[in-house]
Structure 1
Amino acid sequence: MRKVTLNAIRDHAIRAYPHECCGLVVAIDDRERYVECTNAASGTDHFILPAEEYAAIESMGEIVMVVHSHPDASSDPSEADRVACEASGLPWMIVEVRRDDGGTVAAHGVSNIAPAGFSAPLIGRSFAHGVLDCYTLVRDWYRVERNVVLRDFKRCDGWWNEGADLYMNNYRAAGFRPLVEGESHAVGDVILMQIRSDVANHAGIYIGDGLMLHHRYGRLSNREIYGGYWLENTRTVLRYVDDREG
């Protein structure tokens, strides 16, 4: 990478602090250029690069790298970074940026990662909404256990507080139907729960023996007994309808 490109990245990381910066390195007429992007995330510990900005930059040339910063943290990639890097199909650069004791913000080390077949474990994965969340776990379970690729759906952090009923509005498009009266739970059934919300905002996968696999907001994914609190807050249970079932 050219020194001028790296300096532009470091400068952006410093100006964006304490939020994460994000941007793209694009090759235009065989010369690289760093293009700053808007971080549409509401928090300070992740980034969302708007699709319309990505498309606009893609029209300028070949996108060769995704860039973002880690404020007050090491440049080492998080589990969510590695998952998102795989999904992007592009190399990533991560910049460490910190405020020192004197109040000066400075960029420090950088780390580079590239797609290499990484897949987060189903149990014990960290939480990052939109990258590693309860619906991601459902999709990954179906990919690993059933060789089924479920549709993904765009979701902003906190959508359940804005009245969006994403699960109920989209489960049929993802290939599911609700269980009917008298049907027993089967491995792979998806449990939709309504947790301190007006809409169904949490999903788990029934894995047999009275257990479900789920990923709570801000927690590690885990197995848990499906009963008590979770049963009381269940909105509906869904079953995947494959080609054989019509």
Structure 2
Amino acid sequence: MKDETLARVVPYVIIHANAEAPRECCGAVILKDDDLVYVACRNLAVEHEHFIIAGYDYARAADSGRVMAIAHSHPYIAPEPSLADRIGIERTGLPWLIVNVPVGSYSITRPSGFKAPLIERPFVHGVHDCYAIVRDYYALQGIELRDYPRAFGWWEDPLGPDLYRDNFEKEGFVEVPREKLRQHDLILMNIRARRDNHMAVYLGHGVILHHLIGQASRREAYQEFYQRRTTAVLRHKAFLTEPKPCSL
């Protein structure tokens, strides 16, 4: 599908965007009866999330026709894809149409194999957060971890899942004594929360790689603040023998 063909739905996305501003709007562009149709969806995002398409709405759009693109808005900023947008484009494998309001300009970006750098990522929960950087780090070591859906604040929901504790064994991790900490180990932490709500990768030589809420991802000393909040050290089965050189 050519860009000029996809651009035919821009006026409908702008109508939705104006109605939702200053929040981002989101929706799906489907092919139905040989015509492109924009299906407006609800944005379920909360703090630290830009947009999350309601699953029911997306399923309704997919049931109505073939999904050809994802559309959303950038209120009061340029319609160029953010770093989080570019990750989303690769995840969906679809073109993304982004419109600006109130100007009405737009961009169309297609999957290109983009991968975000590990350092200096802006925080976007569910896209660029502490679990995402852990997944991407281990992917560089040849280890693929599942991408679990997670709503902001899951760590405080008494009825919700315990993302880390419920899943680390099925992902191939085992708990090891903290004094045995070494390169490539995964560190679980509890920072003023009901459950463990932060994780970091130990790079060796007293340095961790992690991504805190509201901050850019970074390397940082494994200082006393983080040591006191550590609840477990996990080691992937791939590293139960001698560690491999760090690919970072």
Same fold (TM over 0.5): yes
Question: In structure 2, which of residues 168, 187, 210 is the aligned counterpart of residue 214 of structure 1?
Answer: 210
Aligned pair 1:158/2:162, yes or no?
no
How many residues align? The count is 235
Which runs of no fewer than 5 residues in structure 1 stay unpaired? 98-105
Is the 2:177–2:233 contact (alpha carbons within 8 Å) kept by the matching residues of 1?
no
Cα deviations by residue, 1:66-99 (Å, 9 ceiling, x for unpaired): 00011122111110000111101000011111xx
**Pairing 1:116-131 to 2, within 5 Å after superposition:** 116-131=112-127
The 3 A distance-change label for structure 1 pair 86 and 7 is same
User: Which is further off, 71-80 or 83-92?
Assistant: 71-80
Q: 1:101 matched to which residue of 2?
A: none
Where in structure 2 are the equivalents of 1:34-73 lying within 5 Å?
Answer: 34-43=38-47, 46-73=50-77
Aligned-pair CA distance for 1:11: 0.3
Unpaired segments ≥5 residues, structure 2:
242-248
Separation (CA, whole Å) in 2 of partners of 1:2 and 1:132: 28
Identify the residue that residue 32 of structure 2 maps to in structure 1. Answer: 28
State the alpha-carbon separation in 2 of the partners of residues 176 and 81 from structure 1.
30
Indicate the residue corresponding to 1:134 in structure 2.
Answer: 130
Change (3 A) 1:2 1:64: closer
With 203-212 and 51-60 compared, the bigger mean Cα shift is at 51-60
CA contact (8 A) 1:14 1:107 kept: no
| Partner residue, 1:197 | 193
- Matched residues in 2 for 1:244 and 1:232: separation? 25
- What secondary structure is seen at the aligned counterpart in 2 of 1:170? coil
Stretch moving more, 227-236 or 52-61: 52-61
Give a deviation string over 1:35-88, Cα, whole Å, max 9, x none: 000111124861101223222211222111100011122111110000111101
1:173 to 170, 173, 195: 170
TM-score calculated relative to the size of structure 2: 0.89
- Taking structure 1 as the reference length, the TM-score comes to 0.90
Distance 2:46 2:129 in 1: 17
